Amino acid sequence: MTILKILQYPDKRLKRVGVPVENFGPEIQKVIDDMFETHYATPNCAALAATQLDLDIPWHITVIDYTQDKKSPFCIVNGKITYREGEQNEYEGCMSVFPSQLHEKVKRAQKIKVSFQDRHGKPQEIDASGYFAKCIQHELDHLDGYVYLDKLHPIKVERILRKIKKIQRQAKKD
Ligand code: NI
């Protein structure tokens, strides 16, 4: 297995859109294994989408596991939100967006229904709420070419980016 490079904002490749998976053969199985390997090798990582990784083809795949013991791998292929209900406004971070420096509140649906395929192509449907729902929405945004900064007001993003630059300049001096 291979640990993949996680693309860092503002890398243009983060704007790529997930490519639908049709053939669930060995090539895709290796991509999914590598994604989990990368996920588990990255501290404080809850989930990763293929579009935030240094892959030639950014498949429509996300891997999720936010449990303490990291023994609950959950893989969503070709995922689509089919129902949304309620609202939550919780802090999020992202492995591609200044992971150790930035956490911001993002408005998301509280409950969702997702139809997808598992890693072997079997159609599935799940209900998710709270943290799990937030996580899936964050990852499916990545697969549409968006990072969570794109969900915030542009003025707020400008302020955040200025603050980060200041922190980075300071870190260089120290
Ligand atoms: Ni992210």
Which entry of 37, 85, 90, 139 is annotated as an active-site residue?
Answer: 139
* In-domain check, residue 117: yes
* In-domain check, residue 1: no
**102 is in which domain, residue-wise?**
12-173
State how many domains the chain has: 1
- Reported as a pLDDT band with limits 50, 70 and 90, residue 174 is confident
Instruction: Please give the distance, rounded to the nearest whole angstrom, from the Cα atom of residue 97 to the centre of ligand 1.
Output: 7
pLDDT tens-digit map of 128-147: 999 999 999 999 999 999 99
**To the nearest whole number, what is the mean pLDDT of the chain?**
96
* In-domain check, residue 6: no
Integer Cα distance of 35 and 122 in angstroms = 19
Give the residue-averaged pLDDT of 98-118. 96
Residue 102 sits in a domain whose CATH number is 3.90.45.10
Q: Which residues contact 130 (CB under 8 A, 6 or more apart)?
A: 88, 110
Instruction: Please give the distance, rounded to the nearest whole angstrom, from the Cα atom of residue 84 to the centre of ligand 1.
Output: 20
* In-domain check, residue 96: yes
Burial of 3 (C-beta count, 10 Å sphere; 0-12/13-18/19+): middle
Burial of 139 (C-beta count, 10 Å sphere; 0-12/13-18/19+): buried
* In-domain check, residue 2: no
Instruction: Please give the distance, rounded to the nearest whole angstrom, from the Cα atom of residue 151 to the centre of ligand 1.
Output: 12
Element (H, E) at 35: helix 26-41
Instruction: Please give the distance, rounded to the nearest whole angstrom, from the Cα atom of residue 14 to the centre of ligand 1.
Output: 10
Instruction: Please give the distance, rounded to the nearest whole angstrom, from the Cα atom of residue 149 to the centre of ligand 1.
Output: 10
DSSP of 40-63? HHSTT--EEEGGGB--SS-BSEEE
Are the beta carbons of 115 and 143 closer than 8 angstroms?
no
Instruction: Please give the distance, rounded to the nearest whole angstrom, from the Cα atom of residue 139 to the centre of ligand 1.
Output: 6
Q: What share of the chain is helix, strand, coil (3-state, %, to 5)?
A: 35, 25, 40
Residue 16 in this model has a pLDDT that exceeds 90 = yes
* In-domain check, residue 125: yes
Alpha helices in 88-153 (DSSP H): 130-143
* In-domain check, residue 52: yes
Q: Is 139 among the catalytic positions?
A: yes
pLDDT tens-digit map of 56-76: 999 999 999 999 999 999 999
* In-domain check, residue 69: yes
